[in-house]
Amino acid sequence: MAVAKLHGGGGMPMPMPMPMRLLPSPMTHRTLPSIASFAPRRHIIVALAAKRSPKRLKYSTPRFSKEGELVYIEVDPCGADSWKLQPVIELLKQGAVGVIPTDTVYAIVCDCKNHSAVERLRRIKKIESSKPLSILCRSLRDIDTFTMGFPRGDGHGHANVFRAVKQCLPGPYTFILTASKELPKQCVGYGTTSVKYASRKNVGVRISDDPLCQAILHEMDAPLISTSVKGPKENEWMIDPTAIGDIYGPEGLDFLVDGGVRVAEPSTIVDMTGPYPKVIRQGKGPILPWMVVDDEESPLRQDLMASGT
C-alpha cells in the first residue's frame, strides 16, 4: 500500500496521495461488539463487559432486552477470581434475571427495585403475584431500611433478640420480618385483600456468607430479590449448575454463575413477626436456644418455605 508523505518549503507542489486500496476484512462492514465472548456448544462465557454510568444506573430502572443465549460464568467457589463477576453485576443493574450461588443453595435473583425484572422472575419461577419473595441483603443496614427491623424488646415480655440475631448473620438463616415502605410491593405480594393473605406484608431477609454472593451484592445499589432453584419434586433443590441452565435457560434466564456443585441444604427460616422467634423450617442453620420450633401449617409458612433459599 502506498503512503503519501507531506513536504514543505521551496515552493514545491505537494504530491497527490496515491489511491488507497482496502484489503478485504471480516470486520469491514460490522461494528466491534462491546462484549468479547467465546461461545461453546451451549453457553456463552463472558470475558469482558462494557462499563455504564453509575449515576445513570442509580436513578433509572431500564427494561432489560435479552440478546443471544444464556450467559454462563464459571468462578472459583472461594471467590479468588471474583473479578469475573463484573458482567453479572452489569446485567443485574440493567434488569437481568439469573442464578447465583449462596451459602446454602443456588438462587434465582434480580434487582428488587426493577419492576420488570421482578415480574420476569415470577414468570420464570411460576410464582403468583400474591406470593411473597425473599431478599438478599448486603448488611444489617439494608434490613433496617427495607423492613421494620428485629424486635428490640418493649418491657412487656417481648425479648430483645437483636443481639442474638447479629451472631447469626451473615449465615444460613432466613428471618421473616415486616416489610417497610421502602420495599416495592412486588416483593411482598399484592393483588388480594382477603383475610387469608393479610400477613403477606412480611418478607424473608438473608445475609449470605458466600463470597461470590457477597461480591455481587456489594456492587449493587439495593438488595436482590431471591428465590430458591428447586427441582420438579417438592422439597427438592437443584445443586448442579449445568442442570439448572438446561432447565431454566429456556424459561428466559439471562445468566448463570457456576460456583460448583452445592449441597442441597437450604436455610433455616425463623419467623420474627410474633411474640417469640418461631422456626418454620429447619435447614442448614442450627436451632438456637432462643428459637422455638413451630410445626403449625399456614399459607405463609408454605409460601416462604417454597421460595426461601
Residues of the chain predicted below pLDDT 50: 1-62, 156, 190-200
Half-sphere exposure of 79 (CA within 13 A, CB side): 12
> What cell numbers appear for 35 in the block?
462484549
AA letter at 175 = F
27-69 per-position pLDDT tens digit: 333 333 333 333 333 433 333 333 333 333 333 444 555 556 8
> What does R_g of the chain's alpha carbons equal in angstroms?
25
The reported pLDDT for the residue numbered 263 is: 85
The reported pLDDT for the residue numbered 301 is: 54
- Contact at 8 Å (CB) between 257 and 73? yes
Q: Which helix (H) or strand (E) is 303 found in, with range? A: helix 299-307
153 φψ region: left (φ > 0), alpha (ψ -120 to 50), beta (else):
left
The reported pLDDT for the residue numbered 34 is: 32
Which residues, 6 or more positions from 135, have their beta carbon under 8 angstroms from its beta carbon?
112, 142, 146, 183, 187, 203, 204, 205, 206, 223, 224, 225, 226
The reported pLDDT for the residue numbered 108 is: 97
Q: Which has the closest alpha carbon to 127: 194, 71, 60, 200?
A: 200
- Rounded CA separation 95/201 (Å): 24
198-230 per-position pLDDT tens digit: 444 899 999 999 999 999 999 999 999 999 998
